[in-house]
């Protein structure tokens, strides 16, 4: 028997055995293998679709986060601007009120000074009038004691008096 040249019976039995094995594999193993491969392919497609969807959601979330961050920054800037404006307004109002109160106090002080001045002038005039009357009384007593000087005084006063 020669190992290089196969016999026809061996070839037929090998071929029959191969065909039977192929039928058995086709009936029992081929469908499960193809099903497993198909399931695996579907799983990979689903995983890729999920990964793409997750990537898209991450991009959307990143964009939303950036937008929210920008809105928060803008709102913070607006709040700071409002706070600054309010502070400046409060300071200006306080200055205006202080100026107004200072002006009132100055006016009141000037009115008090004017009132005191008038009272002092009135008192001074009253005092001067009292002194003048005392002096005039003393002068008149002295002048009236002498009849000649009375006539001179009356003539002098008549000369100084003018008719309006």
Residue 20 forms part of a structural domain:
yes
Residue 145 forms part of a structural domain:
yes
In whole angstroms, give the CA distance from residue 152 to residue 142.
13
Residue 121 forms part of a structural domain:
yes
Rg (CA), the chain: 64
Token duo for residue 75: 């709102």
Domain count of the fold of the chain: 1
In whole angstroms, give the CA distance from residue 26 to residue 38.
16
Q: What is the pLDDT of residue 43?
A: 94
Range 137-156 burial, b when 16+ CB lie within 10 A, else e: eeeeeeeeeeeeeeeeeeee
Token duo for residue 5: 């040249």
Residue 2 forms part of a structural domain:
no
Residues of the chain below pLDDT 70: 1-4, 140, 142-145, 161-164
Q: Give the C-alpha distances (Å, rounded to integers) separating 28 from 20, 25, 49, 59.
A: 12, 5, 32, 47
Q: List CB contacts of 1: < 8 A, sequence separation 6 or more.
A: 7
Q: What is the pLDDT of residue 130?
A: 78
Residue 1 forms part of a structural domain:
no
Residue 54 forms part of a structural domain:
yes
Token duo for residue 29: 């193993």
CA neighbours closer than 13 Å in the CB half-sphere of residue 69: 6
Q: What is the pLDDT of residue 144?
A: 65
In whole angstroms, give the CA distance from residue 70 to residue 84.
21
Q: What is the pLDDT of residue 3?
A: 60
Residue 80 forms part of a structural domain:
yes
Q: What is the pLDDT of residue 164?
A: 44
Residue 28 forms part of a structural domain:
yes
In whole angstroms, give the CA distance from residue 155 to residue 164.
19
Residue found under tokens 């309006």: 164
pLDDT tens sequence across 113-151 = 999 999 988 888 888 777 777 777 777 676 666 777 777
Query: Domain range spanning residue 51?
Result: 8-158
The reply to whether the predicted model has a pTM over 0.85 is: no
């Amino acid at each position: 028997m020669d190992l290089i040249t196969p016999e026809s019976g061996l070839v037929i039995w090998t071929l029959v055995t191969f065909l039977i094995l192929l039928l058995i594999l086709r009936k029992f193993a081929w469908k499960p293998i193809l099903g497993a491969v198909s399931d695996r392919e579907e799983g990979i497609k689903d995983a890729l679709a999920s990964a793409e969807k997750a990537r898209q959601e991450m991009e959307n979330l990143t964009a939303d986060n950036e937008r929210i961050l920008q809105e928060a920054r803008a709102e913070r800037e607006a709040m700071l601007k409002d706070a600054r404006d309010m502070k400046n307004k409060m300071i200006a109002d306080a200055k205006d009120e202080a100026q107004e109160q200072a002006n009132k106090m100055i006016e009141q002080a000037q009115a008090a000074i004017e009132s005191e001045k008038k009272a002092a002038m009135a008192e001074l005039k009253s005092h001067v009038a009292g002194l003048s009357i005392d002096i005039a009384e003393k002068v008149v007593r002295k002048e009236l004691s002498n009849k000649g000087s009375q006539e001179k005084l009356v003539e002098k006063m008549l000369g100084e008096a003018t008719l309006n």
